């Protein structure tokens, strides 16, 4: 297991280009199964979750090739093999292969997906929608099995705008007999990216936002597509800039995707400038912001909660965060306390009483965004910190440590 040694107290300064979005490329990689052809995907980040998705595709008989940030995926020879826990256990997004395999082959078998331990993340909404389409879904303690000789369209209203369920049902709906209308869909930009990719490959999808209509039975084909920028990566670097009282510019971003995050940073006293594809931040002293409530898009994103909390740990005043998406998303709080943060946390609420300066400590990352939060805290702290279990960050941030060093961070990889 790797670690970062960080000497804190250095303001981050400079310019950084943001990579392609983890939460966009993963469902699109699953969607390539539907095409039965060759897909060329540009701006694909080199992160471990993408490598796991490619291993699953190869296990299913697909051919994959990477050239820089471009992936070529040929799914012509794909077969519906059961996907083992050795692959699905590494990432939550493995569940998305269920919709695409069911649509193309009428069957899907996979072990329960893993990923970060953020609390209950049931697949009941996925199965509810697939059963509404006529699929027979069986669940054992360690395996999911879905079968259907003919998926049927209809109207499906999700009880909650789940991102994963929206994506899975969208994939399955492409093979339905008749039209499918999905109501109360998740509206995250990554959903829009998946819709655009499917349209590029011949799918007929109407609507925008929370209601989507999918024409079933369309013949899909391969296509060429560029993945959107990663708004969560951008949010993490903005939080790091604010925490270190730095000055940085992020390029290759979509500023309107980050409005909930930049609004919080502005309230905290940061100066921000935005253009068509860049955001510049300057911060002299971060002030407390309250309350922050995580919510589905276009509310404050749960994936940005931990990085922003790390920045607010040394802000002036008291901040309050309400986590309304996941039940166990404050796993990073004990480590922040070890670094001197004054944080009181319950299941859904955290009260952050900002200190003048955090102190270095040896801590372990427990999940992807929580790990990024510990790095941000260490960058702003006085003294040396060791952040262990860095493989969590490698799941979602390409070249995280080198990028920070390029912005002036005193960081050594172990």
Between CA 374 and CA 388 the distance in angstroms is: 10
Q: Where on the phi/psi map is residue 293: left (φ > 0), alpha (ψ -120 to 50), or beta? A: beta
Long-range contacts of 121-125 (CB under 8 A, 24+ apart): 121/92, 121/326, 123/95, 123/164, 125/158, 125/159, 125/160, 125/162, 125/164, 125/165
**Where do the structural domains in the chain lie, given as residue ranges?**
3-19+230-413, 22-226
- Per-residue model confidence as pLDDT tens digits over 31-82: 999 999 999 999 999 999 999 999 999 999 999 999 999 999 999 999 999 9
- Flag whether pLDDT at 120 surpasses 90: no
The pLDDT of residue 302 is above 60: yes
Identify the pLDDT of residue 118. 45
pLDDT at position 103: 97
Q: Is 149 left (phi over 0), alpha (psi -120 to 50) or beta?
A: alpha
200 classed as catalytic: no
The chain-wide mean pLDDT, for the chain, equals: 95
Report pTM: 0.96
Pairing of strands 152-157, 107-111: unpaired
Instruction: For 79-114, write each residue's pLDDT tens digit.
Output: 999 999 999 988 889 999 999 999 999 999 999 887
Return all residues near 156 (Cβ < 8 A) that are at least 6 apart.
Answer: 129, 132, 133, 169, 180, 181, 182, 183
Q: What is the pLDDT of residues 197-233, one digit of tens each?
A: 999 999 999 987 899 999 999 999 999 999 999 999 9
* Segment 347-372, tens digit of pLDDT: 899 999 999 999 999 999 999 999 99
C-alpha 34, offset from chain centre: 22
For the domain made up of 22-226, give the CATH fold: UDP-n-acetylglucosamine1-carboxyvinyl-transferase; Chain (3.65.10)
**Rounded Cα distance, 32 and 109, in Å:** 17
Q: Give the pLDDT band of residue 1 (cuts 50, 70, 90).
A: confident
* Average pLDDT estimate for 316-333: 93
CATH topology for the 3-19+230-413 domain: UDP-n-acetylglucosamine1-carboxyvinyl-transferase; Chain (3.65.10)
CATH topology of 3-19+230-413 equal to that of 22-226?
yes
Query: Residue 115 above 70 pLDDT?
Result: no
Q: Which of 116, 176, 270, 283 is catalytic?
A: 116
pLDDT of residue 124: 87
For residue 402, the surrounding DSSP H or E stretch is helix 400-406
**Helix and strand element counts for the chain (H, E):** 14, 23
For residues 237 and 16, the answer to whether their CB atoms sit within 8 Å is yes
410 forms bridges with which residues in the sheet?
7
pLDDT tens string 3-26: 999 999 999 999 999 999 999 999
Portion of the chain with pLDDT greater than 70, in percent: 98
């Amino acid at each position: 297991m790797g670690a970062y040694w960080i000497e804190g107290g250095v303001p981050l300064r400079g310019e950084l280009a943001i990579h392609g979005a983890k939460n966009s490329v993963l469902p699109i990689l699953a969607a390539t199964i539907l095409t039965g052809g060759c897909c060329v995907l540009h701006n694909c980040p080199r992160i471990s979750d993408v490598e796991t998705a490619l291993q699953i595709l190869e296990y299913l008989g697909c051919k994959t090739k990477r050239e820089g940030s471009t992936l070529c995926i040929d799914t012509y020879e794909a077969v519906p093999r059961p996907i083992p826990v050795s692959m699905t256990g590494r990432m939550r997004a493995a569940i998305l292969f269920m919709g695409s395999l069911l649509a193309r082959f009428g069957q899907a078998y996979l072990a329960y997906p893993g990923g970060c331990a953020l609390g209950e993340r049931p697949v009941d909404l996925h199965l509810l929608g697939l059963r509404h389409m006529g699929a027979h879904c069986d669940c054992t303690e360690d395996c999911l099995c879905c079968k259907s000789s003919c998926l049927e369209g209809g109207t499906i209203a999700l009880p909650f705008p789940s991102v994963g369920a929206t994506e899975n049902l969208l994939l399955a709906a492409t093979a339905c007999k008749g039209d499918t209308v999905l109501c109360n869909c998740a509206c995250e930009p990554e959903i829009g990216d998946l819709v655009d990719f499917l349209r590029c490959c011949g799918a007929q999808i109407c609507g925008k936002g929370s209601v989507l209509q999918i024409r079933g039975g369309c013949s899909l084909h391969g296509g060429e597509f560029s993945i959107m920028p990663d708004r969560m990566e951008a949010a993490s670097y903005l939080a790091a800039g604010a925490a270190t009282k730095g000055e940085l510019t992020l390029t290759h971003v979509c500023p309107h995707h980050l409005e909930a995050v930049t609004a919080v940073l502005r309230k905290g006293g940061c100066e921000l400038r935005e253009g068509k594809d860049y955001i510049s931040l300057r911060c002299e002293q971060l002030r407390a912001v309250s309350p922050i409530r995580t919510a589905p898009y276009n509310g404050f994103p749960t994936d940005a909660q931990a990085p922003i909390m790390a920045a607010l740990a040394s802000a002036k005043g008291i901040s309050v965060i309400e986590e309304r998406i996941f039940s166990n998303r404050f796993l990073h709080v004990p480590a922040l306390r070890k670094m001197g943060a004054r944080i009181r946390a319950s299941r859904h609420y955290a009260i952050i009483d900002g200190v003048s300066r955090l102190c270095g400590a040896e801590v372990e990352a427990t999940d992807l965004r929580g790990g990024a939060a510990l790095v941000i805290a260490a960058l702003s702290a006085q003294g040396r910190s060791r952040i262990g279990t860095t493989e969590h960050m490698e799941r979602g941030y390409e070249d995280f440590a080198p990028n920070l060093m390029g912005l002036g961070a005193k960081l050594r990889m172990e």
